[in-house]
Amino acid sequence: MSNVLMILGSRNPDGQTATAAEALADGCRSAGATVDAVYLPQKQLERCRQCDDDGWGLCRRGDSCVIDDDLAPLMEAMSDADLVVVATPVYFGDLSESMKALLDRVRRVAVNRADSNPLVDKPCVGIAVAGGGGGGSFSCLYSLERILQTCGFRIVDQVSVRRQNMELKRQVLRQTGVWLVENLNSSPTQRGR
C-alpha cells in the first residue's frame, strides 16, 4: 500500500478537516506511502443533472457522465490510488455540499458500470469533522458509509472527530495511517454490507 489519495470537502487547507486528515496522511507518509490531497471546492464539479426524463440519466446507457468537468480525472485518481481517504466537515449533521456533489455523481457512474467499476473493493477511510458544537458527526458518517458502500468501496474505517476532541483524534488518526500502510495489503477483505 503505497499511494494514498485524500479528498477533502473543505475549502480551507488550514482548517479542522485538513488538520484531521493531515494527521492520517502524516502516519501514512511515515510508514512509507505517498499522499496526494484534493480540495473539492477548488475543483470544477457540477451536481448531477438527472439528465433524462426518467431520472436514471444517460450514464446508465454509456459509461461516463455527460458533464465535462473534473469528475473524470477524480475518478481516475481514485482508481489509481491504493487507499482513498474521504474527509468532510460536518454541515447540518451531513456531508459538505462539495463532497455530496462528488459522491452523488461517483455513485451514478460506479453503479452504472457494475461490471467494470474500478472502485469495487477499493479500500477507503471516512473522516467527519464536527467543528462547531460537535454534534452531527455520526449522522454524517452514516450518510458517508451508505454512499461509499454503494459506490463499491471497501470501508476499512470511519473516524468521527469533534472540535472538542481534535487533539486525541489527531493521535488516533496518525496511528491509523501507520497501521493502514503496514497492514492493509495483508488484512482479510471485510465487506460490511
Ligand X SMILES: Cc1cc2nc3c(=O)[nH]c(=O)nc-3n(C[C@H](O)[C@H](O)[C@H](O)COP(=O)(O)O)c2cc1C
Q: 133, 164, 171, 183: which one contacts ligand X (CB under 6 A)?
A: 133
Sites for ligand X among residues 90-119 (CB under 6 A): 90-93
Q: Backbone dihedral region of 136: left (phi > 0), alpha (psi from -120 to 50 degrees) or beta?
A: left
Instruction: Give how many residues touch ligand X by CB under 6 A.
Output: 19
Per the listing, cell 469528475 goes with: 71
The span from the CA of 191 to the CA of 100, in Å, is: 23
- The DSSP H or E segment spanning 91 is none
Segment near ligand X (CB under 6 A), from 12-20, 47-55, 78-86, 106-114?
12-20
Residue 135 touches ligand X, criterion: CB under 6 A: yes
Residue 176 touches ligand X, criterion: CB under 6 A: no
Residue 130 touches ligand X, criterion: CB under 6 A: yes
- Give 167: exposed, middle or buried? Use CB within 10 Å, 0-12, 13-18, 19+: exposed
In the bound complex, which residue of the shown chain has the CB atom lying closest to ligand X?
Answer: 15
- The DSSP H or E segment spanning 157 is strand 154-162
Residue 160 touches ligand X, criterion: CB under 6 A: no
Segment near ligand X (CB under 6 A), from 40-48, 86-94, 152-160, 183-191?
86-94
x/- site string to ligand X, residues 25 to 64, per CB under 6 A? Answer: ----------------------------------------
What's the gap between Cα 115 and its chain centre?
22
| Least CB distance to ligand X at residue 95 (A) | 11
| Cβ pair 86, 127 in contact under 8 A | yes
For 12, phi and psi rounded to 5 degrees? -110, 105
Residue ranges that bind ligand X, judged by CB under 6 A: 10, 12, 15-18, 89-93, 129-136
